Structure 1
Amino acid sequence: MTAMSPTTGPAPAGPASVHDQGNGIRPTHLAGTHTFGPPVPKPSPFFQHGFGWLVGSVWLFYLGQPLGTILNHPGGFAKWFSLGALVAFGLSYVLVFLWTRRMHIEERQPRLRDGLVWLGVTLVLGLAMLPGAGGDWMVGLVYIAASAVMVLPPRAAVVAVAVVAAQPLLLPVLVPEWKHENGLFFSIVLAAFAMFGVTRMIDHNMRLTAANREIARLAVAEERARAARDLHDILGHSLTVITIKAELAGRLLPDAPDRAKTEVNDMERLAREALADIRRTVGAYREVCLEEELASARSALSAAGIEAQVPRSADVPEPRGTLFSWAVREGVTNVVRHSGATRCVITVRPDAVEIADNGSGPVAAAGAGGSGLRGLRERAEACGGQLSVGRAPGSGFVLRVSVPA
């Protein structure tokens, strides 16, 4: 059996492949699967931990203007108090960015109350720069607008940005010493748009990550369903025939030991074939042949004491031939197990296969039944065909799979 790697092709399965040091193959684990392939590189520690600090800090260059004004201010309490407030203001903005980034990574939205608290703290720190920076403190409004986009819901953020953007136009009217800042108005608006784009990019990346996780989960579920369907189709039929032949050999053993020996040999052959089928199925290389299934059906029905009318050969092109093979296997298994029939007729046409008996087996709807019928329905739908089960007038149970020619 081989395990396929998407980058290296077939890789030998088993313990040796797990510890193969020569070609770099390592098991890459996904919940519910055992996949072999080259080791997935771990994310750089910088991008895990330092990227947020870099992206948040790169915008602090806007604070150069109030920083220069504070440094040129005459020494004293006002200068150092304002300088401390500026450092705390910049640190607060970076922490807001990191906090909202973590919230997005954890697929959570900041609460409105928490967002307002962050904005309030940032605004207070910005106002604390007033003694040393004077009117240049308004540069901090750029960061307050960007923070509003990060921590508030969209509608509330629009209102907050509009209010903040109006301040460079209104405050100089109230405080004549402060310069009228038209450029600052546009900087605030552009910063808000830029931060909106950053938050949307983070959201989209998180959604893409969640979608990839869901795709992986669905792929695992689909593979499990396929494996369960294939194993049911293989083991259900083979074990049913082995059970029937074992019962027949037990009855024949006292009076016809030679024929009982033949049945035991058939059981051994069937067991070996079933084991080989399982190995091929696990390796995803299993194929079924319609003529072989017809011959196996004839043998199983005969061993069960059911009169069989089965064609010797059938010329059906693929992929219908494979689908009809599974239909014959499932239909005959149900006849032997459940029908209580004395006669079974298998009809094969280029566009359909039908298994009918004269028994009193259960009638199931096409979408119902056990896992065998459900798996056969899925196979038929995958080929653009249709599964029909029920009773025909004057007959017993009928299973039909048809595919448009």
Structure 2
Amino acid sequence: MAHVILVMALLSYTVVTLLNLLGADMAGYQQVIALVSLAAILALQLRHSAPGANRAPLWQRCLTLTAQALLTYLPFFVFQAEWGAMAGFLAGSLLLLLPARVGWSLYGVVGASLSVPAALEGRSVLVVVYLCQSTLLTGLVTYGLSRLSELVKEVHSARDELTHMAVTEERLRFARDLHDLLGFSLSAITLKSELIHRLIPQHPQRAREEVQDVLSVARDALADVRRVARGFQDMSLEQEVSSARSVLSAADIGTTVRVSLGSVSTQTSSVLAAVLREAVTNVLRHSKADNCNIEAIQLDGNVHLLVANDGAAPDHHEHSVHGGSGLMNLEARVRAIGGEVKAGRVDGTRFRLRVVVPAEQE
């Protein structure tokens, strides 16, 4: 609609000039010259008013502006002041295609130049002022409608891009949540199933107890999938600490836990629970740990979460052919609530993950 309004306005200005010329006493060849010149100027103006015209190479802009200037000023020798309205198109094109300082300067020059033919014809001061003012006004209208059309197009393009980004972000969120929630559960099920396999021959009673734990973890995994599908992601840090202790113990990894928390917002607790779940999953999958230390301490308005384990040998690799993106997911979650993550090897064979986040979210 903005483009249609622009085209109709340019056509209207052109038709007004044509009617003024036809109302004057002109010879046949003059009418032909008027029609050809008006058509050429209109075509050039539509080109200059098109979105992105100001991004064309400088030499192209200068060439078309020069052509428009010649078509604007040469007909004055034939039609005199009756041709004055066409100078407004040139004024608008200068604003559209040239840098602001140069464009506005030349815009003023074009407006003032209309006083010359009117004065040479002996027109009154009021007519001179009218021609200069109408030229400047036409230039502003041409510039404003052209920019409006371009901005509307950019807004529509930006809206489409934002929609695409929102869909992409939602896909990333779903993938991140699925990874964070199910990675731990599936690792726990695998670990406990291997433990059951070893216990069945000589400790059947203990194996039955572990089967119950596997069923419990599987039910929790199913609930997690449903929570992801609903977009509901609240998790409890204290519950996750308890689950981590149980899984690490089943893997014969000595676990030291220290938790000292006060008032913690639901969002902070959910993020830290996801961090702890991913950290324990990495301990199980990416190390040969014998000991793991978990600390969650609230200090000076922040919650400090530390997960450290040994057995992070450089030659130990995950057996799965699929790569992971857990640490990147955690960094995204933590930074979203104003926290920071530090992770890396310590003393060669120890790996430490430290997270600091605000205890309360605004």
Give, in angstroms, the shift of residue 182 of structure 1. 1.6
**Equivalent-residue separation in structure 1 for 2:345 and 2:67 (angstroms):** 75
Q: What corresponds to 2:270 in structure 1?
A: 322
Moved more, 327-336 or 113-122: 113-122
Give, in angstroms, the shift of residue 244 of structure 1. 0.9
Amino acid at match of 1:182: V
Aligned pair 1:359/2:311, yes or no?
Answer: yes
> 1:306·1:344 contact (CA, 8 Å) conserved in 2?
yes
Q: How does 1:96-115 map to 2 (within 5 A)?
A: 96-104=44-52, 108-109=55-56, 112-113=59-60
Q: What corresponds to 2:244 in structure 1?
A: 297
Give, in angstroms, the shift of residue 329 of structure 1. 1.0
Choose between structure 1 and 2: higher helix proportion: 2
Aligned pair 1:287/2:234, yes or no?
Answer: yes
The alignment yields a C-alpha RMSD, in angstroms, of 3.8
Q: How does 1:79-228 map to 2 (within 5 A)?
A: 79-104=27-52, 108-109=55-56, 112-113=59-60, 116-117=63-64, 120=67, 123-124=70-71, 127=74, 133-151=79-97, 154=100, 157-158=103-104, 161=107, 164-171=110-117, 179=123, 182-183=128-129, 184-228=131-175
Determine helix, strand or coil for the equivalent of 2:114: helix
**Equivalent-residue separation in structure 1 for 2:273 and 2:204 (angstroms):** 33
Q: What corresponds to 2:219 in structure 1?
A: 272
**Equivalent-residue separation in structure 1 for 2:24 and 2:61 (angstroms):** 36
Aligned pair 1:400/2:354, yes or no?
Answer: yes
Give, in angstroms, the shift of residue 252 of structure 1. 2.3
Q: What runs of 5+ residues in structure 2 fail to find an aligned partner?
A: 315-322
> 2:244·2:280 contact (CA, 8 Å) conserved in 1?
yes
**Equivalent-residue separation in structure 2 for 1:107 and 1:280 (angstroms):** 51
* Structure with more contact order per residue of length (Cα contacts < 8 Å, sep ≥ 6): 2
Determine helix, strand or coil for the equivalent of 1:340: coil
The sequence identity of aligned pairs, in percent, is 33
> 1:86·1:126 contact (CA, 8 Å) conserved in 2?
no
Equivalenced residues, count: 343
User: Which residue of 290, 293, 298 corresponds with 1:342?
Assistant: 290
Moved more, 269-278 or 81-90: 81-90
| Residues 302/171 of structure 1: CA separation in 2 closer, same or farther (3 Å cut) | same
1:183-219 CA deviation, whole Å, 9 max, x = no partner? 2123223333443444444454455445445544544
> 1:63·1:139 contact (CA, 8 Å) conserved in 2?
yes
Q: What corresponds to 1:71 in structure 2?
A: 23
Q: What corresponds to 2:279 in structure 1?
A: 331
**Equivalent-residue separation in structure 1 for 2:58 and 2:39 (angstroms):** 21
Amino acid at match of 2:241: L
> 1:81·1:129 contact (CA, 8 Å) conserved in 2?
no
**Equivalent-residue separation in structure 2 for 1:279 and 1:393 (angstroms):** 41
Amino acid at match of 1:241: A
**Equivalent-residue separation in structure 1 for 2:347 and 2:180 (angstroms):** 28
**Equivalent-residue separation in structure 1 for 2:33 and 2:72 (angstroms):** 6
Give, in angstroms, the shift of residue 263 of structure 1. 3.2
Give, in angstroms, the shift of residue 325 of structure 1. 1.4
Give, in angstroms, the shift of residue 301 of structure 1. 0.9
1:74-121 CA deviation, whole Å, 9 max, x = no partner? xxxx533333444444444443443334333x8844754366346626
Aligned pair 1:242/2:242, yes or no?
Answer: no
Determine helix, strand or coil for the equivalent of 2:342: strand
| Residues 375/227 of structure 1: CA separation in 2 closer, same or farther (3 Å cut) | same
Give, in angstroms, the shift of residue 297 of structure 1. 1.0
Determine helix, strand or coil for the equivalent of 2:343: strand
| Residues 282/305 of structure 1: CA separation in 2 closer, same or farther (3 Å cut) | same
> 2:93·2:143 contact (CA, 8 Å) conserved in 1?
no
User: Which residue of 372, 392, 401 corresponds with 2:326?
Assistant: 372
**Equivalent-residue separation in structure 1 for 2:293 and 2:247 (angstroms):** 13
Amino acid at match of 2:82: D
| Residues 198/142 of structure 1: CA separation in 2 closer, same or farther (3 Å cut) | same
Determine helix, strand or coil for the equivalent of 1:401: strand
Q: What runs of 5+ residues in structure 1 fail to find an aligned partner?
A: 1-46, 363-368
| Residues 148/383 of structure 1: CA separation in 2 closer, same or farther (3 Å cut) | closer
**Equivalent-residue separation in structure 2 for 1:333 and 1:296 (angstroms):** 11
TM-score, normalising length from structure 2? 0.76
**Equivalent-residue separation in structure 2 for 1:128 and 1:260 (angstroms):** 101
> 1:293·1:329 contact (CA, 8 Å) conserved in 2?
yes
> 2:240·2:273 contact (CA, 8 Å) conserved in 1?
yes
Q: What corresponds to 1:252 in structure 2?
A: 199
Aligned pair 1:386/2:333, yes or no?
Answer: no
Give, in angstroms, the shift of residue 165 of structure 1. 3.7
Amino acid at match of 1:289: S
> 2:233·2:270 contact (CA, 8 Å) conserved in 1?
no
Give, in angstroms, the shift of residue 285 of structure 1. 0.9
